[in-house]
Amino acid sequence: MGKLPVLLYGSPILRQKSLPVQTIDGGLQTFIDDMIETMYAAPGVGLAAPQVGRLSRVIVLNPSEKQDPESLMVLINPEIVQAEGEIMAEEGCLCIPDLREPVTRYERVLVKGYDRNEREVEVEGKGLLARIFQHEVDHLEGLLFVDRLSTAKRDILRKRLKKLLTESR
């Protein structure tokens, strides 16, 4: 299949909660490969299944600057089980092109889930990796990074977001 189309802000799928993956089969493996190809082509550092139209709890991410294969992670049914500290940094999203805003996130998180080989994994993320985990898990919950902005900031951005909404239809 290859590269998948990334849904844009305004797509109703982006606002729905994803369902847990029940079976890791060949179809899911192909979908994960397509997600990785899509993330790299975008280019992005993370991608959640809802961003490409599938309401499954699957995320792929690679925080390295040069798409280092050793840094690539696939998490199925990820769950943030611990979080601490706070840090504000600029964030963007493939679903909301050309919009970057400072967002407060946890500085360190512990994430549990399964890898694509059905092994249970626990990954600690700090800094950028923690931010990516939180951003992608938010997608699985139907949340976008703009939902994490203050009401005042969202009001300021409302015109730009409305414009994106009309362009996506």
90, 91, 124, 136: the active-site residue: 136
Distances (CA, A) of 43 to 46, 56, 62, 120, 128: 9, 22, 11, 28, 16
Query: 52: which 2 tokens?
Result: 């490409």
Strand 58-61: give its sheet, edge to edge: 46-48, 58-61, 73-84, 108-114, 120-126
Query: 70: which 2 tokens?
Result: 């050793």
Q: Is the dihedral of CA 77, 5, 127, 83 positive or negative?
A: negative
Rounded Cα–Cα distance for residues 57 and 10 (Å): 20
Rounded Cα–Cα distance for residues 112 and 79 (Å): 5
Give me the helices (H) in 48-127, please.
none
Catalytic annotation present for 86: no
Which positions are catalytic?
136
